Amino acid sequence: MINRLLTGTTLWLLWIVRRIISLDRRAYMVLSAGALQPSLARIGMLRAHAVYLKAKDNCPAYQAFLETEGYRQPGRWSLASLPITTKENYVKKYSIVDRCYYGKLPAAGVVIDESSGSSGVPNNWVRSAEEREDVKRILQLNYQLIYRDQGCILLNCFALGPWATGMNVSMSLVDVGILKSIGPEQKKLENTLETFGRNYRYLVFGYPPFIKTFVDTTRLDLKQYRMDLIVGGEGISEPLRAHLRQYFQTVISSYGASDLEINIGVETELTISLRRLCMKNRELSQGLFGRELPPMIFQYNALDYIIETTPAGELVFTIGRQTSAAPKLRYNLHDLGGTITHRQLTERLAAKGLNVFELAKPQSRFPLLFVFGRSDLTVPFYGAKVYPTDIEEIINADPNLVKQLNSFQIASYEDEAINRRLKIRLETVKELPGTLAPAAELHQTFFDGLCRVNQDFREVTKMFDPSCLEIEIYRFEDGPFSGRDIRIKNKYVAQ
């Protein structure tokens, strides 16, 4: 009891210090000093322990979860000893109210975000006023550190409504600039730029494919405008970044998730330079990240987020904030990736004869988070996630297709013109009954079907031409379906 009281008092004092530091970007930069990183990691773990104690005592869903998992605290508590929570074993199993502290929604100041699952049934996420304020301060600090201009016009082109990213960006940044929430509407973005003219600096937020379509098809001469870009929702390739840099002075990606919160990590000059270096030096990328094609790379504050990696290479997140409406302890997003401290990066680059400080000046010593993408059989497309079960639903709902198709694969990729495309490969049964519908008819069937079964896909269709969806037909066990091992599950997501 005494130890718990001392821990609570210590965290309260640290919270006050952090609040003071977060009021000024120069003070906040102190936290990024190299000497402080081990201490921030220890304090972050202390905060995680406090969240666990609060959840264990006051969150009905987490109490039931620990009991179901048979968790018994070892002699000395450790975060790694806690069972991992997922959407399947925690979010879908317990009600939204039971997942909140004290088994109820906070009385006021609550925002409920929504995301779509594979069945098309939305998942809801509750944000308390305190956690939204915390996210708001960090977003504003990042904005002030990167974009120091006063009077910058912020154009939010993320999907609006109940979705986490768009609304949180608007709510968080309305105080630091001139904000207009546009949504993914190309004509509205064009009209806004024309209305306010070329004398302002613009900061545009949006999904990478939408922005790519905009710059490629707009009637405006974008090079006459002074613009910067922040993207999110899915990764961005270096060829696409280079393409967008023709129109934007900077192109930065932010990492987050509706399950947790936005802006967990952000690209910096260091991470962008490191990724570009790894694109040229695949051996270096293999040594640092275990793959020749470099992942997305961000930096994050270990004071706020504890990020672990499972043996399968999946990222597990804990948010060390007791003021959240619901605890987030060891949550597995099914994103593949890992973390590396700045010191480890420095040492590994030095072993290759490279100097980390030549990549960017100045640079934060915050740890690095690298992300390859989802491992849970989904593909990203314009900020939406397309699931194999979506395709199964479309096929099974059609009396002809259910008899004519044996399997399928989905893939999201960039073509030679750096346009994002969604490909669906269909494998016919061994003995095809009747005649398969023409390609144009199949295209319409799957496009309409995705709009029907996938809420997020339906919302983002305004951002791309239907031709971005491609259908390929293969005979039984031909092409990508050849060499199938019957002992292994079908591979539904193409590489």
Q: Domain map of the chain by residue range? A: 1-100+282-375, 105-263, 381-481
Give per-residue burial for 252-275: e unless 16+ CB within 10 Å, then b. bbbbbbbbbbbbbbbbbbbbbbbb
The Cα 27–Cα 417 span in angstroms is 44
pLDDT(402) > 90? no
The Cα 468–Cα 457 span in angstroms is 13
Neighbours of 87 (CB within 10 A): 18
Tens-place pLDDT, residues 60-86:
999 999 999 999 988 889 999 999 999
The Cα 410–Cα 470 span in angstroms is 10
Supply the pLDDT for residue 486.
43
Supply the pLDDT for residue 475.
93
The Cα 185–Cα 66 span in angstroms is 45
Task: Please report how many Cα atoms fall inside a 13 Å half-sphere around the Cα of residue 72, on the Cβ side.
Answer: 2
381 vs 36, 279, 420, CA distance in Å? 39, 23, 7
**What is the amino acid identity at position 138?**
I
Tokens of 392: 């199964």
The Cα 249–Cα 438 span in angstroms is 45
Average pLDDT for 423-442: 91
Tens-place pLDDT, residues 258-289:
888 888 999 999 999 999 999 899 899 989 99
User: Which of 287, 289, 253, 291 has the alpha carbon at shortest distance from 272?
Assistant: 253
Superfamily of domain 105-263: ANL, N-terminal domain (3.40.50.12780)
Q: Checking DSSP bridges between strand 296-299 and strand 368-374, what pairing results, if any?
A: antiparallel
Tens-place pLDDT, residues 133-175:
777 777 766 666 676 666 788 899 987 765 666 667 766 676 7
Q: What is the pTM of this model?
A: 0.80
* CB-based contact 13:6 (threshold 8 Å): no
CATH of segment(s) 381-481? 3.30.300
pLDDT(127) > 60? yes
The Cα 13–Cα 5 span in angstroms is 12
Handedness of CA 92, 96, 98, 101 (dihedral sign): positive
pLDDT(447) > 50? yes
* CB-based contact 136:172 (threshold 8 Å): yes
Tokens of 6: 């001392």
Q: Please give the angle made by the CA atoms of 11, 13 and 19, to the nearest 5 degrees.
A: 100
Neighbours of 394 (CB within 10 A): 22
Share of the chain above pLDDT 90, in %: 46
Mean pLDDT of the chain: 85
Neighbours of 183 (CB within 10 A): 18
Tokens of 389: 């079960």
Tens-place pLDDT, residues 296-345:
999 999 988 999 999 999 999 999 988 899 999 999 989 989 999 999 99
Handedness of CA 63, 68, 74, 76 (dihedral sign): negative
